[in-house]
Amino acid sequence: MSRTKLIFYLVFSLLLLSLSIEAQPENLTLSAAIEKTLEYNYGIRISRSDAEIAGINNNWGTAGRYPGIGFDANTNNAYNFNDDKSTNRLYAGIGLNWTIFDGFRVNFTKEKLEDLEELSRGRLGVVVENTIEDVLMAYYNVLLQQENLKVLETVKNLSKDRYDYETVRHSLGGTVTYNVLQAKNVYLNDKALFMTQEVQVRSSIRNLNFLLGVAPAVMWNFPDPFEPDTRGYVLADLSAKMMANNQTLRNQYTNLQLRKKEIDLEKSALYPSLNLSTGLDENIGSVQFIGSTDALSAYGNLRLSWDIYSGGTRKRAIQMARISEEIAHVEIDQMEHALMNELLNLYDFYSIRIALLEVADESLEAAELNMSIADEKFRTGAISSFEYRDIQLIYLNSALRRLQAIYNLIGSRTSLTRLTGGFLMENPQADSQ
């Protein structure tokens, strides 16, 4: 081989090696997935912007504490045909208007803005909790689909071995064509299931990428094990955590405070209001044949106004605000009741799913042992191909049921964590986003 060809092959090999290295997907742990979600998820970014708007709006200027200053200027030009005179005038003024007292409305409005900001951040917390739950389940769904793929690959390989075995036997005259065709059909069916599952794996990764806010084509390695946490819970502890930390319930308490502020705002209309207006006005004029004028004046005025009677409008507004507060109390009672029902249901599901996983483990262990025994019996002719296929399907269903039992148990634990406010407690940076 010439030196030029050697260099060419060396460069080409290095290029292929670099491309293969670049093509290796990055590892994505569950904690890294949550971090990416908090930073890039679309829903979280939108809710974070809403909370930022509420924070900007929460200031004394919006509440009406500070005066307003304005400038105004205009001209007046006229021509009198009878006197053959023209008049030109310029009016300019700068003024300050300030509501000194309005029944404490400014203070109540500021408190309402603070509650609105807190409510907005609470809604962000709910979005964060729900999104983290979705990401957790999407991440474990990828692991579930990958584990299902491994099971289907095992079954496909067994079917391929059986098909090859029947083919060899047929070539030696030890079996009929029917058995070969039946084994081939079984193998092709298992191969189709395996190929379909490959699509499921890629689809689950794309769904996860959507929650992460990354491109659909990005592929990952998933190093976390597909294993459930089977530690037990104490129902009383879960109930106490839910009442103290559930973000949706906390938002409802904030909403109750907002309803109370509405009562105070409506009551403020019963008081008089005191307004101050002050400023400077300048009048510059020019009249033909007469000359120009320039007048500068200052003013300062106080205005006290009091709406003594308005047909009962204010009284009715206060009554409606109080009814609205009562509704908020009922909504809190309703939410606490609904949350407790959900907690009890999730607790029961979690307990039974631990037991179901134990049953699935035993079932898979028996199916695996049965498969190993059946394989030997099939090759010795002790069982038929149909019986062997039935045992194979029992193993397949047992393996898939066990994997689904793991996923269901993870789902129950995830829902309990979300219901008791655990995601925000475990991820304090999420609550401060």
How far CA 12 is from CA of 6, 17, 20, 302, in Å, comes to 10, 9, 12, 89
pLDDT at position 288 is 58
pLDDT at position 19 is 41
All structural domains of the chain, each given as residue ranges with its CATH number in brackets, are 26-58+102-271+313-431 (1.20.1600.10), 70-101+274-305 (2.20.130)
How far CA 122 is from CA of 115, 191, 423, in Å, comes to 10, 50, 13
Q: Are 311 and 341 in contact (CB under 8 A)?
A: no
Q: What is the number of other CB atoms lying within 10 angstroms of the CB of residue 297?
A: 10
Beta strands in 113-235 (DSSP E): 220-221
Mean pLDDT of 400-426: 93
Which pLDDT band holds residue 90 (cuts at 50, 70, 90)? confident
pLDDT at position 147 is 96
Determine how β-strand 291-305 pairs with β-strand 220-221.
Answer: unpaired
DSSP reduced 3-state for 310: coil
Average pLDDT, the chain: 88
Which pLDDT band holds residue 17 (cuts at 50, 70, 90)? very low
Q: What is the number of other CB atoms lying within 10 angstroms of the CB of residue 1?
A: 7
pLDDT at position 383 is 86
- Asked if residue 342 has pLDDT above 50, the reply is yes
Instruction: Kindly give the interhelix angle for 105-171 and 177-212, rounded to the nearest 10 degrees.
Output: 160
Q: Are 10 and 184 in contact (CB under 8 A)?
A: no
pLDDT at position 26 is 93
Q: Are 233 and 349 in contact (CB under 8 A)?
A: no
Q: Are 351 and 409 in contact (CB under 8 A)?
A: no
Task: Give the DSSP H or E segment for 294.
Answer: strand 291-305
pLDDT at position 430 is 54
CA distance 415 to 421: 10
In what side-by-side order are the strands of the sheet with 68-80? 68-80, 85-101, 273-287, 291-305
Mean pLDDT of 44-57: 95
CA distance 348 to 204: 28
Cα-Cα-Cα-Cα torsion 358, 360, 366, 372, nearest 10 degrees, comes to -130
| Encoded tokens for 218 | 């990005």
Q: Are 67 and 96 in contact (CB under 8 A)?
A: yes
pLDDT at position 18 is 46
* Concatenated DSSP letters of 349-384: HHHHHHHHHHHHHHHHHHHHHHHHHHHHHHHHTSS-
pLDDT digits 0-9 by tens, 245-287 = 999 999 999 999 999 999 999 999 899 999 999 998 888 776 6
Q: Which amino acid is it at 361?
A: D
pLDDT at position 20 is 41
CA-wise closest residue to 124 among 250, 29, 18: 250
Mean pLDDT of 338-366: 95
- Asked if residue 16 has pLDDT above 50, the reply is no
pLDDT at position 4 is 56
The contacts of residue 270 (CB under 8 Å, 6+ apart) are 103, 314
| Residue reference for tokens 């148990």 | 409
Report the chain's C-alpha Rg in angstroms.
38
| Share of residues in the chain with pLDDT > 70 (%) | 91
